[in-house]
A and B are shown apart, each in its own frame.
Chain A
């Protein structure tokens, strides 16, 4: 399967702990996105990378959140000092940038985070 993969699929943690999620994009894609989806809502944009560069961060991304894409391939999203409000599905998507139009983004299965 050559789609977007995410690991782990589920994570249960206690409040105050740090967690890290990984996303492996489709191999030829140069853009990688992170979204967060809470119950009953549509996904909300968090941040995105073009190659290694983090080009935009949402105001939803507090200073407890950090994302990296060190070699322009896989990406990690870390949440420090987790809070119960961080419980959500974290989605990763990748795309191939096309000049002049919005990319088609392909989504992974998501990582479901539960903070107790």
Chain B
């Protein structure tokens, strides 16, 4: 069975400082992993997707994530936070039959 654990329910950063959102996964086979972002009153938007082509995945808006099999991790990073990055972020694993299994989310706050 597949699952993801988002290690922080809330992360607060100052504008211009780095962002780190942590995610560990569990999968019985080589997983497909995603990060989605959800802004208030807006739909889920795909940030990036890992499908084993490269361990470092670059996404939209300057975000990237690194797949580390030895650590079963897929942490999301951004070098410099912007006020518009404030949102809920979900780490997601492909569930074998193509359904997605979401983590519980990390709320990112960005302070000026």
A and B are interacting partners: yes
Q: What CA separation (Å) do A98 and B42 show in the bound complex?
A: 27
CB neighbors of A among B90-112 (8 A): 90, 92, 94-95, 97-105
A104 contacts B49, C-beta separation under 8 Å: yes
Chain A contacts of B99 at CB under 8 A? 33, 45, 48, 56, 58
Closest-by-CB residue of A relative to B45 is A107
Q: What CA separation (Å) do A3 and B42 show in the bound complex?
A: 13
CB < 8 Å neighbour of B102 from A31, A44, A103, A104: A44
B102 contacts A102, C-beta separation under 8 Å: no
A103 contacts B90, C-beta separation under 8 Å: no
Interface size class, chain A:
20 to 34
Q: What mask results when residues 44 to 64 of chain A are scored 1 for a CB within 8 Å of chain B, else 0?
A: 110010000001101000000
CB neighbors of A among B31-80 (8 A): 32, 34, 36, 42-46, 49, 51
Query: How many inter-chain contacts with C-beta < 8 Å in the A-B complex?
Result: 61
A102 contacts B51, C-beta separation under 8 Å: yes
CB < 8 Å neighbour of A105 from B42, B100, B103, B105: B100
Closest-by-CB residue of A relative to B33 is A102
Known contacts A44-B102, A45-B100, A101-B51; is-contact A110 B46 (Cβ 8 Å):
no
Q: What CA separation (Å) do A35 and B90 show in the bound complex?
A: 14
B94 contacts A102, C-beta separation under 8 Å: yes
Known contacts A91-B44, A104-B46; is-contact A45 B104 (Cβ 8 Å):
no
B43 contacts A45, C-beta separation under 8 Å: no
Q: A35-B100, A91-B43, A104-B46 are in contact. List 10 more A-B contacts (CB 8 A).
A: A3-B43, A4-B43, A33-B99, A41-B104, A42-B105, A48-B98, A93-B100, A101-B51, A102-B94, A109-B43
